[in-house]
Structure 1
Amino acid sequence: MPDVKRTILWSVLTAGTALAALSPLSARADDQQPPADLMARGEYIATAGDCVACHTAPGGKPFAGGLRISTPMGDVITTNITPDPEHGIGQYTLEDFEKSLRHGIRRDGNRLYPAMPYVSYSGMTDEDVKALYTWFMHGVKPVAESPPVTELNFPANLRITMAAWDLVAGSVTPETGDSATFDKLRRGKYLANALAHCGTCHTPRNIMLSEKQDSYLAGAPLQGWYAPNITSSKTAGIGNWSEDSLVQYLRTGHVDGLSQAAGPMGEAVEHSTSHLTDADLHALAAYILQVPAKDDEAEHTPREQVGKAADVPDIRTGELTRIDRLDEMDGAHIYDGNCAACHGANGAGTSDHYAPSLFHNTVVGSARPDNLIMVILSGVDRTAGGLHVHMPGFAQNSDVQRLSNAEIASVVNYVMATFGSGDHGVTADQVQQMRAQLPKAP
């Protein structure tokens, strides 16, 4: 987003007078167009909350739902939250909307599944809830489509059981006042805990699937990916990052010699954090970098410091290896045929860092191979900071599988052994389990 637009959005955040133009909580949105600054504030909050990521299926219409979110109890299918009166939330009053957003209770009284991060959104201010409601009712195009109904395994298929879960999970006391006037760390905390709900992905969960508050942001598995430890730990987290580096990552999804965003985080950068104001990005980064360190027994060396360039043989020696026998191709040959053209035979990437180095890379340097497996399967397709970054996924190519599970396992083991934290013995079965978690439209 251009700096001018960021400035405009930030300026409307500081305008509190328009909030008084809203009708009481019990009122339903009418046809009268709300003030422009209120609409802009609501849109900015929706962007900070990354609502579009979960409520838009691959290739689907914005906010029309249909995305499948894998859980241990089955797939949750996200709902239509456009203002269509029959298929979406067009009949919701502000009170209905607030109960859904902050308490996980639908207009019909049934409980939402916590794939919707209402536990985090419960911390939003009244003013921001009102602005968000106003934008959804007046700024989003209605879509007359109903996604399939979520069908989970027993007992999760009984929505009443979510009431018991809510008691275990708890909630956050809503912030008070105008969130745009909070000081830097308070604003950063509000963004991290309420709007951007960082803990939803980066905090591990207990047997009841509620967040372990004593392990806040210490890392957790997520639909095949692993949302890494982002506490201030210097070995397991991002304690060695500067505030400017983290801001750059949130704005662009890429920091040379550190990390690149893909998967759910790539979506969060593209649709959410890359559109935040500079002040908000610095507030968010400053807050995260002071979160108490949580070390990880699997991570003993900072991920971004692991590995080195490969010692590539000089082909002028005349010692050549045939690679036309596909049944004999190992990880090195698969890498040479599919990866080296961009990442280099020595793993250094391109000179402009468009294709990143594979050493001093938090994905390859991790003690967990999950994210490397997933990025090879799904690829990277991220637009942020004025740059479109693309890496093809090797799960499919024109509906034809490009690399088998065994081949992906082989190249993952080669890349991590050669450039990163070591051969992790990834198997074809592990790759298949992660392949099954790739996003699917209903």
Structure 2
Amino acid sequence: MKNMLKGLGAALCVALPILAQAPADAATPAGAGAADQALVQRGAYLAQLGDCAACHTAPKGKPFAGGLPMNTPMGRIYVTNITPDAQTGIGGYTEADFARALREGVAKDGHNLYPAMPYPSYAKVNDDDVKALYAFFMHGVAPVQQANRESDIKWPLNMRWPLMFWNMAFLQKGAYRDKPGKDVAWNRGAYLVQGLGHCGSCHTPRGVAFQESALDESGSAFVSGALLDGWFASNLTGEHNSGLGRWSDEDLRTFLKTGANRHASAFGAMTSVINNSTQALSDQDIAAMSAYLKSLPPVGGNGAPAYTYDPQATKVSLDRPANDAGARVYTAFCMHCHGVDGRGFAPMLAPLAGNPNVLAKDASSLINVTLNGTGDLVINGVPSPFPMPGFAAVLDDKQIADVLSFVRAGWNNGAPAVGAAEVAKLRQSTQAGR
């Protein structure tokens, strides 16, 4: 999917990930001691927590061998080989080289990396975790000889030296330090969310130079929701309608482990995050992330009162669908899964009544998932039986706008209507090249 941002900032884009599972059977080299083996295994867990495979494994490619294309309006960039191959990968990296690339975005030969790699978040990773990650990538990943590919970005926009100035302005160096007055779980959750989890990379709004507007809870914009590559990454603050304000701690932990709860289901890039990262995390780390996120004050609301369910007006519309174009589409294509009452059949089929994604000010995610559907949630090896199908080939722009406007108004959701021009724009950007 093509990013709509203009200018130089677009070259710095963070593309939504296509994740691939880290190799579970990667072996430690012969002769490695028990302590080294434990370090490699710990690094494997951290690599999964950080979704390192997200960008560094291409579809049907070998683990961490790179080659995944990322689109920008100026051309494609291709992610790099981070296997321990000495010629084409990072086999020649010392631990210091590795740490610099991870936390400062500077490769061994001194060239600057695009912030498509979220090193502004990884800057917070502590030395012990860097050491474990380095052990994993050197001794737990099979070397693959696969040459890196130059970007398709044309000169002069392909020059990387301006990124030095970007780093000077926006990169905050230094590992995370525990906040006084906060308990162990909160600090662990903050470290994971801000650091390896890099949640802010998608969920925090961007500035004019495409920098994250905040890197932690000290900035009010942190994880307050952001538009990126045709999706609106959800508000993760305590906002009561489009955020996590109505979610209990158990709701959030369940979502991170399974991708669905009584409020919503994962779709788009978040499906891959659940499949390949958060479902594999320890219960302690999931609880810590939840504790931290649930502590964030509400940001980004429109002043509307907290959502309360009201089915009556929508029930009347559905009783006489011929009077409402959106209701007609809903009755034909949506009602069987999401119900007459809009409550779906959670957690297998998402509710639409009160769903934070439905209540969000930006309807991009709703348009995108209606056009293109979403991939399967695969929990403990079992695919979800009811993934959202795409309707791009079935419904025209007006029909999609009508049904989404109906849903956003229905069951007391009270969200703004969707226009056919919005659908057409997203159809063009997400269908290109398919």
TM-score (normalised: structure 1)? 0.78
Q: Which of residues 200, 220, 245 is equivalent to 1:239?
A: 245
Q: Which moved more, 1:164-173 or 1:39-48?
A: 164-173
Pair 1:377 & 2:377 matched: no
The Cα of 1:159 is off from its aligned counterpart by 0.6
CA contact (8 A) 1:48 1:273 kept: yes
Q: Which of residues 250, 256, 264 is equivalent to 2:256?
A: 250
The Cα of 1:94 is off from its aligned counterpart by 1.8
Counterpart in the other structure of 1:427:
420
Counterpart in the other structure of 2:315:
311
The Cα of 1:64 is off from its aligned counterpart by 2.8
**Secondary structure, aligned partner of 2:357:** coil
Rounded Cα–Cα distance in structure 1 between residues aligned with 2:432 and 2:200: 21
Rounded Cα–Cα distance in structure 2 between residues aligned with 1:314 and 1:367: 25
Unaligned 5+ residue runs, structure 1? Answer: 1-8, 10-28, 322-328
The Cα of 1:39 is off from its aligned counterpart by 1.5
CA contact (8 A) 1:220 1:227 kept: yes
Rounded Cα–Cα distance in structure 2 between residues aligned with 1:227 and 1:148: 29
Read off the aligned partner of 1:159 and give its amino acid letter.
R
CA contact (8 A) 1:120 1:193 kept: yes
Rounded Cα–Cα distance in structure 1 between residues aligned with 2:154 and 2:420: 29
Rounded Cα–Cα distance in structure 2 between residues aligned with 1:199 and 1:205: 10
Aligned residues, how many? 393
The Cα of 1:269 is off from its aligned counterpart by 1.6
Rounded Cα–Cα distance in structure 1 between residues aligned with 2:171 and 2:343: 47
What CA deviation, in whole Å up to 9, does each residue of 1:177-198 have, x standing for no partner? 9xxxx92121111101111011
The Cα of 1:47 is off from its aligned counterpart by 1.0
The equivalences for 1:356-395 within 5 A come to 356-380=350-374, 381-384=376-379, 388-389=383-384, 390-394=386-390
The Cα of 1:422 is off from its aligned counterpart by 4.2
Unaligned 5+ residue runs, structure 2? Answer: 1-23
Q: Which moved more, 1:420-429 or 1:128-137?
A: 420-429
Counterpart in the other structure of 1:63:
64
Counterpart in the other structure of 1:263:
268
CA contact (8 A) 2:241 2:356 kept: no
Rounded Cα–Cα distance in structure 1 between residues aligned with 2:273 and 2:48: 9
What CA deviation, in whole Å up to 9, does each residue of 1:351-386 have, x standing for no partner? x64112221212222232111112223323212366
Q: Structure 1 158/186 Cα, relative in aligned 2: closer, same or farther at 3 Å?
A: same
Q: Which of residues 389, 393, 404 is equivalent to 1:412?
A: 404
The Cα of 1:152 is off from its aligned counterpart by 3.4
Q: Structure 1 421/75 Cα, relative in aligned 2: closer, same or farther at 3 Å?
A: farther
Rounded Cα–Cα distance in structure 2 between residues aligned with 1:378 and 1:143: 33
The Cα of 1:429 is off from its aligned counterpart by 5.0
Counterpart in the other structure of 2:3:
none
CA contact (8 A) 1:408 1:431 kept: no
Read off the aligned partner of 1:311 and give its amino acid letter.
K
Rounded Cα–Cα distance in structure 1 between residues aligned with 2:88 and 2:429: 29
The Cα of 1:415 is off from its aligned counterpart by 2.5
Counterpart in the other structure of 1:354:
348
Counterpart in the other structure of 1:340:
335
Rounded Cα–Cα distance in structure 1 between residues aligned with 2:169 and 2:321: 62
What CA deviation, in whole Å up to 9, does each residue of 1:123-182 have, x standing for no partner? 1111111111111122223333346432336654111111011011122411479xxxx9
Read off the aligned partner of 1:427 and give its amino acid letter.
A
**Secondary structure, aligned partner of 1:137:** helix
Rounded Cα–Cα distance in structure 2 between residues aligned with 1:395 and 1:57: 26
